[in-house]
């Protein structure tokens, strides 16, 4: 067909793809027939995940599911690193696994999403992402103990 594809790409602005096919007339001013939206990046997913796992959501889940609190405080909390301790990867993976299981068991998508995101970070051995996730959990657990 002897066509060609041209790409104009600029960081932060997106990309324009121009397809040139001999013998096919198309106006350059016509809007594209399909808009391709950018998928959220990993950091945007992480922020959304942390926001979804809010104190009010966790407290509401504990009220609706009274047997959830013992799972959180007796199974997950002991795996949490102390203020002066480092992250133990196997404990972080166990925390992720517990959140995934609890999310599915109690139909709490935010728990499942948090666990999956944490598991991805553990798999990547990304301590810069694991530590803030566990710190967020620590704050949530402090709020649960105070209630």
More confident residue, 141 or 119: 119
Return the structure tokens found at 130. Answer: 């694991």
pLDDT at 28 over 90: no
CB 4 within 8 A of CB 17: no
11-15, 33-37, 81-85, range with the lowest pLDDT: 33-37
Q: What is the token pair recorded at 35?
A: 């808009």
> Per-residue pLDDT for 15 more than 70?
yes
Sign, CA dihedral 106-111-115-116, equals positive
Number of H helices, E strands in the chain: 6, 2
Among candidates 4, 9, 145, 8, which has minimal Cα distance to 80?
A: 145
What mean pLDDT value characterizes the chain? 78
Q: Give the torsion sign (CA, 72, 111, 101, 118).
A: negative
| Distance of alpha carbon 51 from alpha carbon 48, whole angstroms | 5
Q: Is the pLDDT of residue 23 over 80?
A: no
Please say whether the beta carbons of 19 and 5 come within 8 A. yes
> Per residue in 47-85, pLDDT tens?
666 666 788 888 889 999 999 999 898 989 888 877 556
Say how many residues make up the chain.
147
Q: For residue 29, is pLDDT > 70?
A: no
Residue 25 confidence (pLDDT): 45
CB 103 within 8 A of CB 115: yes
Average pLDDT over residues 91-101: 94
Question: What is the rounded average pLDDT of the residues 141-147?
Answer: 77
- Among 143, 146, 71, which Cα is nearest to 104's? 71
In percent, the amount of the chain with pLDDT more than 70 equals: 71
Task: Report residue 105 as tokens.
Answer: 């068991």
């Amino acid at each position: 067909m002897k066509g060609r594809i041209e790409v104009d790409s600029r960081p932060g602005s997106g990309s324009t793809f121009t397809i040139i096919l001999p013998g096919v007339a198309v106006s350059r001013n016509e809007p594209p027939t399909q808009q391709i939206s950018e998928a959220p990046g990993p950091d945007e997913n992480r922020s959304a995940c942390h926001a979804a796992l809010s104190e009010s959501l966790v407290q509401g889940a504990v009220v609706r599911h009274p047997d959830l609190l013992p799972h959180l405080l007796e199974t997950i909390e002991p795996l949490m690193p102390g203020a002066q301790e480092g992250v133990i990867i196997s404990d972080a993976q166990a925390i992720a696994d517990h959140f995934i299981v609890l999310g599915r068991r109690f139909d709490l998508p935010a728990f499942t999403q948090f666990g999956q995101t944490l598991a991805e970070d553990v798999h990547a051995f990304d301590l810069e992402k694991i530590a803030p996730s566990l710190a967020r959990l620590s704050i949530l657990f402090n709020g649960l103990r105070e209630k």
